[in-house]
Structure 1
């Protein structure tokens, strides 16, 4: 079932695995904006948080910045109403099932736009042809199936493809590159496929291998640094199990490949005891598995080793989903492998 508007906000606020102070404040704002009572909010929050793993499947974006932009977009009621009517009309053109109508109306009604959506569906003469929608209505477009059914129509965000080498390639006819708010230095680039490259014009040392979704190790590295930085900004320990007073330096994070193994390391500041660089590895085969800690390692360092391994696994699981979501591709990940400096995923299209 599609989320309610408040559940969508919850998914954005919790998308990094924890709720930040800014996220909590914005959820209060969203509650007031949607006119939810405390009891109704508590009911939705309790149901959603009962299975927080649904976060990755039910949200349509990522992080506090996207939540902030979404809230700002919802304030423009004057432009949202006619676009909602047009989306209702377009949904009829592509085919609207009873279940899709029910879920779409539930979401639109939560935004106070249910009547506009209904008018677009049942009173087509009052709705203009759809030529796009603002990002605030992206979730509604996905529920109605407009993102896939009308690939030529997308949320209104003007950008130009850059010249440069591809560090991410998605070979899927439905995939379209777009700016990434969660990794702004990775920009859409000119390519026969959906592709992104680094804003600074960097060039990969090897050509992108064959595969449905491929990305260079440097993109994975940037994603890991972002995940750790976000934890730090929320006031959390950068790594689970890291003793109080110790600091991780996200910029020191490094990834090395050895055959079918990826090693992740980063510098930890021990204060008066100096700097150390703990590491952990994962093996990529039929599944992604964290390697065992070296024998004789002290218990506290075993915790740090395992935390590093879990960060790497989490990054390998979430980054491809983020990229697919950003491209508008509705496919599941089927398998993963490594080829030189690239991670390669096959899609179950």
Structure 2
């Protein structure tokens, strides 16, 4: 049986193994947002807490932050309603079992979105084709099976140089800025070098270093999300050796730099145990080295840690090759380094 929205909030609040003062306050806010009486809350809380071992360390993430982000996302009612209708339509397209419908409706109804979900399923209201959904509805997407079943596609764009900041630069006489079918939001931009930048008005926060191949952390993050999404589309788990029943959410991935270390964090759905945001890091200094997991973690947590670290390694090994191929180059990358918000390589023939 899928959790109710309040049980989902409980799982987030307790995901670090203890309930903080901020977490308790946010649960009060969630109760009011969901319109639960004290009696209804008590029944759900008692049932959920009775099944939780308070002595087990449940994560090495930040439960309060995840709960806060989820609560903020629930405030966008208009977008949530529209997305719920689209999710209902998409679920019907990919196949919806009776049990999945029951669980999904229970969860959506707890958020006040039951009618919107139903209208999408039964085509009672016009619903846009599903291209994505707010992060607040990630639990509903998992219940409906949409995380795996609905790939996000974007039409291929014609190569056309536009003005904008460069987030990828290749300093090579033969390099050409072609359209990237595998990352269509990254488009060729005007620059004295071969360069790509993000669509829209995205501005680079720091100047790129002078190296042969340079790309911003935001490009690495987008590539990581795509790698995980492609694994989902193939019916594989989002991370290598991810324990059975766990699900990662690529849209939640975040990448930070600390000296020569790159740290990734991502929300992982533990099923009945809720959501957590574990992390892992690698050291980048001429080569890529995985930093060991924190001591004292259980076997499943170590698997998640190593899976996160491996996805950074895979991204840093494959992304430069993709960029060089797109630029029409047959050269090698060496001496990978981190410079503020940028990754750099030397090129050799």
> Counterparts of 1:23-102 in structure 2 under 5 Å?
none
The answer to whether 1:232 aligns with 2:243 is: no
Q: CA deviation at 1:256?
A: 0.5
Q: CA deviation at 1:232?
A: 0.4
Q: Distance in 1 between matches of 2:334 and 2:195?
A: 20
Q: Distance in 2 between matches of 1:242 and 1:286?
A: 29
> Counterparts of 1:1-349 in structure 2 under 5 Å?
159-349=159-349
* Number of residue pairs aligned between Structure 1 and Structure 2: 196
Q: CA deviation at 1:158?
A: 5.2
The question of whether the paired residues in 2 share the 8 Å contact of 1:217 and 1:341 is answered with yes
Q: CA deviation at 1:270?
A: 1.5
The question of whether the paired residues in 1 share the 8 Å contact of 2:286 and 2:334 is answered with no
* SS of residue matched to 1:336: strand
Q: CA deviation at 1:271?
A: 2.4
The question of whether the paired residues in 1 share the 8 Å contact of 2:215 and 2:343 is answered with yes
Instruction: List structure 1 segments (4+ residues) > 6 angstroms apart after TM superposition.
Output: none
| TM-score (ref. length: structure 1) | 0.54
The runs of 5 or more residues in structure 2 that have no matched partner are: 1-150
Q: Which moved more, 1:329-338 or 1:214-223?
A: 329-338
* SS of residue matched to 1:303: helix
How far does the alpha carbon of each residue in 1:292-331 deviate from its partner, in whole angstroms, 9 at most, with x for none?
A: 0111000111111111111100100000000000001121
The question of whether the paired residues in 1 share the 8 Å contact of 2:243 and 2:303 is answered with no
The question of whether the paired residues in 1 share the 8 Å contact of 2:242 and 2:304 is answered with yes
How far does the alpha carbon of each residue in 1:123-159 deviate from its partner, in whole angstroms, 9 at most, with x for none?
A: xxxxxxxxxxxxxxxxxxxxxxxxxxxxxxxxxx953
State the superposition RMSD in angstroms. 1.8
Structure ranking higher on relative contact order (CA contacts 8 Å, 6+ apart): 2
The question of whether the paired residues in 2 share the 8 Å contact of 1:241 and 1:300 is answered with no
